[in-house]
Structure 1
C-alpha cells in the first residue's frame, strides 16, 4: 500500500514538473497587432477595458525578438510589469535600460519613451494605464541606430 502511495506521489510530481517545463503562458497570446506604431511582431490581449468604476485599462503585450514600439507618451502615465523574456525601456534623453521578469517600469505622464524586445529575446509585459487622461500619443519610429546603441 505504501508503494502505491509513493508511486502516486511521484506521478503527481512528474506531471507538475512537466507542466512547469512546458512554460505555459498565464494569458493567451491575443491578436497580432497591425504594424502601425511598431516594428516586428507584437501580440496584444486586453485583460480589462476601462469603465466608469475601474478607470484604467490593462493589457498583455508579447513581443518577438527585435520588435519595438515607436516613440510615444501616455497623458496619464503607464505601468509595465515584465513577466517574460528580456526587453528594453528608454526615455528621451536617457540611456536605454534592460528590463527583466519581475521588474516594474513606471512610464511617467507625458514623458516620451519606447519599449520593446532585445534582438535575442522576446519580451512580455502587463501594461496598465488610466483611460480618462487620454490615449497614447504616438510620435516617430525608433531608428535602428537608437535601438542598437549600447550606451
Structure 2
C-alpha cells in the first residue's frame, strides 16, 4: 500500500487544450508498469475541452453539475452526476460544462506503449458549441 499526500497544486487547464476556465487536480498516476492516470476536472459554465482523442479510449465519470459531450459526427449529449461516458479508442470528442452550469468529472485514461494518453486537436468553436446548446 502506498499513500501519497497531496502536494500537487490544482492547475489551470491550458488555453491550447481548453476553452474557458478549467481546473485540474491529479488523482492517480501509478508508476510503471501501470499506464493508468486519472484527473478531477472542474469546468466553469461554458468551458470545454478542445476536440481530442485517446489511443486507448477514455472514461469520464460526472461528479457534479451539468455537462455536455459530443463526438465527431454524432449528437451532443447532456451528462449529469453519476453518468459514465466511454469514449472509444481514437474517437474524436469533446466534453465540458453546460452554458449556465458548473460541471466536474473524473477523467480516467490509459497510455499506450509510447505513453501517449491524448492527442489534442482544434478548439470546439463557439458556433459548434452554440449549435450544440441551442434550445438547452
Q: Per-residue deviation at 1:56?
A: 0.4
2:121 is matched with which residue?
139
For residues 132 and 93 of structure 1, the distance between their equivalents in structure 2, rounded to whole angstroms, comes to 25
Please say if 1:51 is aligned against 2:28. no
TM-score, length-scaled by structure 2:
0.85
Q: Deviations over 1:112-141 (max 9, x none)?
A: 000001110011000111123522111111
| Unmatched tracts of structure 2, length 5 or more | 1-8
Q: Quick check: which one's helix share is greater? A: 1
Q: How many residues matched? A: 124
RMSD value, Cα: 1.8
Higher RCO structure (Cα 8 Å, ≥6 apart): 2
| Unmatched tracts of structure 1, length 5 or more | 1-28
> Structure 1 segments of 4 or more deviating over 2 A?
none
Q: Quick check: which one's strand share is greater? A: 2
**Looking at CA atoms only, which structure, 1 or 2, has the larger radius of gyration?**
1
